[in-house]
A and B are shown apart, each in its own frame.
Chain A
Amino acid sequence: MSITVNGKTIEHIKKETISDLLKRMHYTFPLIIVKINGKLIKKKDYNETVILDKSEVKVIHLISGG
């Protein structure tokens, strides 16, 4: 029972949504893009989209600042 996040393998948690995962990973940066198995997930769907076992998740942080 595991998923990968940005290439790193971590435990899969049942019924975990994207919003939950972002909290678990401490990903608080506002400019991010989430893809599950290559499919772009829109921000408005983060609360409802559940991550299934063996998913390949990408949380792409863009750049800002200074």
Chain B
Amino acid sequence: MHVVLVVEDDPDIRATLCEALEDNGYSAVAASNGVEALEYLRGGNVTPCLILLDLMMPVMDGQAFRQEQRNDATLASIPVVVVSAYRDLDKYAEQLATECLPKPVRLDTLLQTARKHCDSAA
């Protein structure tokens, strides 16, 4: 089972991303901020093949989450793709050592990204 963790505070986008992934054969898990995401990852659940990460979120934002995750040896290897509306997304991606998808994102781009990380891991 390919699980994608969607970390996104906006409920509409969260639901849409999850639905799009599920419609196309993936299993999606949703978290609305960095803390919830870490809880899932450390809660003994299935390790996701990909984390889709928003940057601007309450409680714990995307940057803080990425730092935590990279510093945690058990989680560091999980691929992270930043999905954000920031204009200077390339800069953030470089800084956070991740790929990035600018919002709004097209379905085929989203699925390409999921395929790249999850299907090869399978």
A, B in one complex = no
